Copies of this chain bind each other. A is one copy, B any other.
């Protein structure tokens, strides 16, 4: 286990490793990414969400549950109608993770390149 990564996310008060696992896992399927894109336009009932997909209602419902567990979708139950809405907060944290490491990596690669340039030839 990398304590460096763990400490970093805890120090920032951001998503835990468990939560980041779930968020990236939820994003790792094109149907779920498409569902998020759809929910970004407006909240929707499960039946409406299923309509554009060549998938059964239970299959879409299963994807929605994965999104719900990752905190990306909230479900409001009104009798038999389940209305879903998007929560973008965990996505911002996932993006923050990527942005943070990319800044760090860009810096490292730059200094590696400079180091190589300074080395005498063979």
Interface residues, chain A, CB within 8 Å of chain B? 1-2, 4-6, 17, 20-22, 24-25, 27-31, 33-38, 40-42, 52-54, 86, 88, 91-92, 94-95, 97-99, 101-102, 104-106, 108-109, 112
Contact = CB atoms under 8 A, between A and B. Distances in A.
SS class, residues of chain A in contact with chain B: helix
Contact of A2 (B1, B6, B53): B53
A92 B101 contact: no
A52 B4 CA distance: 11
Contacts of A40: 101, 104-105, 108
16 contacts: A1-B53, A2-B52, A4-B34, A5-B37, A17-B30, A20-B27, A20-B33, A21-B29, A21-B30, A24-B24, A36-B101, A37-B101, A40-B101, A41-B108, A88-B106, A92-B102
Contacts of A30: 1-2, 5-6, 17, 20-21
A40 B98 CA distance: 12
